[in-house]
Structure 1
Amino acid sequence: MPLSTLRKRGRTLRLSTSLAVAALPLLLGIPLMYWQAATLLQNRAEKSATDTRTQLEHMLDDAARVADVVLPIAGQPCENVVQTLRSQMTISPFSRSVNLVTDGLIYCTSLLGAYEKTEDIASYAKGQLRLMAGNVVTPDRAVLVYRQTDDQHGVLIGIDGQHLINLLQINGQEVSLQIAVGQNWISADGHVTNAPTPATSDYSTEVASSRYPFKVTAGYPPGVTLHYMQAHYQPQWLLFLILGVLAGIGTYRLSLRASSPGTALKRALEADQFIPYYQPVIDAETGIWDGVETLMRWQHPGEGLVPPNQFIPLAERLGLIVPMTRALMRHIREDFAGRAEQLPKGFHVGINITAAHCQDLQLAEECREFLAAFGPGQITLVLELTERQMIPPTAITAQLFTELRELGVRIAIDDFGTGHSSLAYLREFRIDILKIDRSFISMVDSHSLSRHLLDNILDLATRLQLDLVAEGVENPEQVQYLRQRGVRFLQGFHFARPMPAAPLFDTLRTPPTV
């Protein structure tokens, strides 16, 4: 799977992840704002109801004070006490009328003087309070009556409904309030009904007085929470939106680093995902398998097998090729350690190296460790120099190649004829093998220039006494052409494709078809 494809799929994942992170502040913030608004509205409803109850109790306390003053004179002739009633009404801030009752009959009022009307005791809540839509004096305005009695006499204090309306409007500027006395209810519009107004369904709160028989209810119309959030939480919306954008951008940038091809290669190296594939090499003279070239593959957990041309150049640029090759050599050693005795003596194993491997002497130590896993002469290690990066001749490289030769390691030039450094390598280093690039082999049947170039390479190898390996052999005609020109070692799909260790050893047990 090309790294470009991996990057495209990674880009989709990065974008979706970043968008999810960007949405997270809003997803978390909306419930938080909703909870905050709900708590605030609930508290406001409770406070409004509590304040209304407290203030109405103060009004009734004043009515009780007036009743305490005039109750002792109840039963006396109206003309003797009416002035007292009027004076008490004058000094009371809330009382609209003061009325005296004797033997169940209202006989004297501060407004009308002598009066005669039967008292309707059953209409009073707990015999103390009565809420009326109106009376004789003000038939269209509510009145709240406070009643206080002794054995035979009583006092009725009328509180103007406007005071109740004022309470409900002042305390209910943001919440709908109602006062209930017995079966009657009054709302901020001053109407008295025998049932509560049904429009208040959110955050319904009921506060009852412990001293007088009334209660106050508070509530909001449906959907108030969202309306409140829209009206009052615009800065919070903007803040969460900015946080989301910043979080999304930050996540995307971090994911670019975390999911870059370089990071993917490093993680793959840590996870030991680079594995060897082997392509056998045949000795055309003897007709037996002579060795293998080891090719690195990336066993990606999600994308399957990734070919080397998709990641090796990047690994070289990032300086990862050396540890990747070290891990590959460990895999090869494990694959061959218990099976080397089954192979011909001197069976060669080719491993590609680059300029990065030749900057110190560590490569010699790794080759020594590799060969120590096998009996003397059992395995011949071949290091194939690739030409993507030039190997400069230095004192270090000279010592490195000397130590490698002392270990019996052979040096090959891979893909000979395609790179600018091939002839320089022949001049600077002691080379044992030339591997002819597949581009020359593929055109020997149809391209005369390729045949001439191939003949020149064969002549050069003969003069320098170098072994030749032809890569990319795919048909019998190419086999015949190469054998006629003395190319002894052949490699290509005509004989076997690259394969893991298990099928490789099955293949090596079968004689090749030349």
Structure 2
Amino acid sequence: MPLTATRLRKRPRRNLITLLCGVLPILSGLGILYLQAERTLEQQSQQTSEELVGQIELMLDNTALAARELLPLAGQPCEAVKLALREQVTRRPFVRSTNLVWDNTLYCSSLFGAFEETVDPIAYHQGTLWLMNGNPITPDTALLIYRLNEGQQGALATLDGYHLANVLRLIGGETRLLLQVGPNWLTADGKVRPAPLPALPVARSNLTSSRYAFNVAAGFDEGEIWRYMAREYPPLFSLLIFFGVIAGTLGHWLQKRTTSPSHELQRALEAGEFVPYLQPVVQGDSKRWAGVEVLMRWNHPKEGLVRPDLFIPFAEHSGLIVPMTRALMQQTMHLLAPLVPQLESPFHVGINITARHCQNLELVQDCREFLEAFPPGVITLVLELTERELIEPTPTTHQLFQHLRELGVKIAIDDFGTGHSSLGYLRQFNVDFLKIDQSFVAMIGVDALSRHILDSIIELSGKLDLGIVAEGVETVEQSNYLAAHGVNFLQGYLFGRPMSGADFITALSAIETPDAAPLYGQPQSD
């Protein structure tokens, strides 16, 4: 990598000095990173707990509302009220069944009609909630029962544990989440277990709902701090080694012969070495090109083409990602403008943005200039929110997204289902598209759990009226599965690898005729 190759070449020449002078900064740096990782995990655990409590409270709101509306009917004959019970199941999201109780006897069910069973109030935590491992109909599916009682009248509404497990999986990510109701607790595998709760030794967070009788616990297994550092801090480890190498007498020597990562990126930006590579996005049904995602590549004069994961973290850390993205948009604009007659309107152009882009309103002007280069309606600009840095919902951020919305710019959440803030973004920002991470797509036909998560994301997008893009489509089986489940757009090697501007023009010309479109349904070689 251009940012690290020089330091790796120089280190063997001064091994002794590196060993003597580099130990202290490396060890102190590791200590600082350890504390930072521990603090980050604690914040992540607390935030995840708050998100989980909020989501479960929303689900219980529907359940409680169903019970509240049915309570006045308790005591009436079952034949007269069973349709009302079933109506609540139909109308209320997440509600699986409803029941009426008279004098602690369940006598009418939305599932069975007239039915008689004794209700034990002691089984319900604080008299309202009971988390159980299933019933005779579905013994392997957890249930959360909400009880509402006034005098002899009572109403029960059941929340399907499948939805609870999905929320635990989608919100949790790397965090272990537990839902506890009384002596019982539920994990992301959908199984209910009795107390005590398992140990969560790292960054444990406990949060009790202020509205319902449940609490959640979030945390990590032993050793997660080191795993987090190994997963998130490799560039920083390189920097620690770098500081060790330049310590002492080598400092001046290396300072004259190498540059910092930000200086090297600045030099490359001024030299126009960051170029756009375009990967096709096709329509789920017809497989015709619907747009492209614009990816940044570094065309280094000595190292050749550099992958983005080797320099984007440095660009984000230094703040250069903003002018680099601006340059990328301008190059893409000049590339696509002459191709307008060949583009199917509206042609989607996706560009990644980070938290750095949301600190001021400069992005609005960049998008306006981009869109003004094309006739109205030809191009739909889609900004994809990445989660390497968390985008805070500040007044400036909300003003930015409002202006972008007025310009007609669409917002997508990239790699949905993997980042801990994905559901938070759905709540905080006006999103148009979800991009399913390729890790879920790769499990189609392989892993049932991942496929269930994929199906849940697709179902969620439908309920929220959001478009959906599946990334990493590499096989015909994956393509057919996603198309059959109503996924709007597909992206992956099956339809085309990221390509340079010249290759994109050639490929676009090749599919101008209708008969050429199926060519992009086959895998392409490197």
Give the TM bin, normalised by the shorter chain: 0.5 to 0.7
Measure, in 1, the Cα distance between the counterparts of 2:14 and 2:252. Answer: 8
Kindly report which structure 2 residues correspond to 1:441-456, keeping only aligned pairs within 5 A, or say none: 441-456=441-456
Tell me what 1:440 maps to: 440
Kindly report which structure 2 residues correspond to 1:212-227, keeping only aligned pairs within 5 A, or say none: none
1:316 aligns with 2:311: no
When residues 281 and 252 of structure 1 are mapped into structure 2, their CA distance, relative to the original with a 3 A threshold, is same
What amino acid does structure 2 have at the position aligned with 1:402? Q
When residues 437 and 7 of structure 1 are mapped into structure 2, their CA distance, relative to the original with a 3 A threshold, is farther
Tell me what 1:346 maps to: 346
Kindly report which structure 2 residues correspond to 1:110-189, keeping only aligned pairs within 5 A, or say none: none
- SS of the equivalent of 1:339 reads helix
Deviation at 1:4, TM superposition (A): 3.9
Tell me what 2:260 maps to: 260
- SS of the equivalent of 2:338 reads coil
Tell me what 1:468 maps to: 468
Deviation at 1:357, TM superposition (A): 0.3
1:291 aligns with 2:288: no
Measure, in 2, the Cα distance between the counterparts of 1:252 and 1:3. Answer: 17
Contact 1:312 1:321 in 2 (8 A): yes
1:331 aligns with 2:305: no
Tell me what 1:420 maps to: 420
Measure, in 2, the Cα distance between the counterparts of 1:435 and 1:289. Answer: 17
Deviation at 1:14, TM superposition (A): 10
1:490 aligns with 2:490: yes
Deviation at 1:365, TM superposition (A): 0.8
Contact 2:3 2:264 in 1 (8 A): no
TM (norm. structure 1) is: 0.53
Measure, in 1, the Cα distance between the counterparts of 2:304 and 2:11. Answer: 19
Tell me what 1:279 maps to: 279
Measure, in 1, the Cα distance between the counterparts of 2:14 and 2:279. Answer: 38
Deviation at 1:424, TM superposition (A): 0.6
Deviation at 1:260, TM superposition (A): 2.8
Contact 2:346 2:379 in 1 (8 A): yes
Contact 1:10 1:259 in 2 (8 A): no
Measure, in 2, the Cα distance between the counterparts of 1:501 and 1:296. Answer: 12
Measure, in 2, the Cα distance between the counterparts of 1:247 and 1:459. Answer: 59
When residues 457 and 6 of structure 1 are mapped into structure 2, their CA distance, relative to the original with a 3 A threshold, is farther
- SS of the equivalent of 1:414 reads strand
When residues 335 and 430 of structure 1 are mapped into structure 2, their CA distance, relative to the original with a 3 A threshold, is same
When residues 254 and 2 of structure 1 are mapped into structure 2, their CA distance, relative to the original with a 3 A threshold, is closer
When residues 12 and 271 of structure 1 are mapped into structure 2, their CA distance, relative to the original with a 3 A threshold, is farther
Per-residue displacement from partner, 1:320-363 (whole Å, max 9, x unpaired)?
Answer: 11111011111111111211221011101100000110111110
What amino acid does structure 2 have at the position aligned with 1:338? P
Contact 1:14 1:252 in 2 (8 A): no
Measure, in 2, the Cα distance between the counterparts of 1:430 and 1:449. Answer: 29
Deviation at 1:3, TM superposition (A): 4.3
1:301 aligns with 2:301: yes
Contact 1:297 1:308 in 2 (8 A): yes
Computed over aligned residues only, the root mean square deviation of the Cα atoms, in angstroms, reads 2.2
Measure, in 2, the Cα distance between the counterparts of 1:425 and 1:392. Answer: 9
Tell me what 1:179 maps to: none
Per-residue displacement from partner, 1:453-477 (whole Å, max 9, x unpaired)?
Answer: 1011001000001111000000111
Aligned length: 283
What amino acid does structure 2 have at the position aligned with 1:396? T
When residues 13 and 360 of structure 1 are mapped into structure 2, their CA distance, relative to the original with a 3 A threshold, is farther
TM (norm. structure 2) is: 0.51
When residues 5 and 284 of structure 1 are mapped into structure 2, their CA distance, relative to the original with a 3 A threshold, is same
Measure, in 2, the Cα distance between the counterparts of 1:12 and 1:410. Answer: 50
Tell me what 1:459 maps to: 459
Deviation at 1:255, TM superposition (A): 3.3
Deviation at 1:286, TM superposition (A): 2.8
When residues 378 and 9 of structure 1 are mapped into structure 2, their CA distance, relative to the original with a 3 A threshold, is farther
Measure, in 2, the Cα distance between the counterparts of 1:332 and 1:482. Answer: 29
- SS of the equivalent of 1:431 reads coil
Contact 2:435 2:470 in 1 (8 A): yes
What amino acid does structure 1 have at the position aligned with 2:450? S
Tell me what 1:393 maps to: 393
Deviation at 1:503, TM superposition (A): 1.1
Q: Highest CA radius of gyration, 1 or 2?
A: 1
Kindly report which structure 2 residues correspond to 1:43-54, keeping only aligned pairs within 5 A, or say none: none
Deviation at 1:488, TM superposition (A): 2.1
Gaps of at least 5 residues in structure 1 are: 16-245
When residues 319 and 495 of structure 1 are mapped into structure 2, their CA distance, relative to the original with a 3 A threshold, is same
- SS of the equivalent of 1:338 reads helix
Contact 1:277 1:500 in 2 (8 A): yes
- SS of the equivalent of 1:276 reads strand
Kindly report which structure 2 residues correspond to 1:2-151, keeping only aligned pairs within 5 A, or say none: 3-5=3-5, 7-9=7-9
Measure, in 2, the Cα distance between the counterparts of 1:369 and 1:14. Answer: 51
Tell me what 2:204 maps to: none
Contact 2:291 2:349 in 1 (8 A): yes
Deviation at 1:13, TM superposition (A): 9.7
Contact 1:7 1:260 in 2 (8 A): no
When residues 313 and 437 of structure 1 are mapped into structure 2, their CA distance, relative to the original with a 3 A threshold, is same
Measure, in 1, the Cα distance between the counterparts of 2:294 and 2:421. Answer: 22
Contact 2:351 2:384 in 1 (8 A): yes
Measure, in 2, the Cα distance between the counterparts of 1:14 and 1:269. Answer: 32
Deviation at 1:9, TM superposition (A): 3.6
Measure, in 1, the Cα distance between the counterparts of 2:423 and 2:292. Answer: 25
Deviation at 1:420, TM superposition (A): 1.0
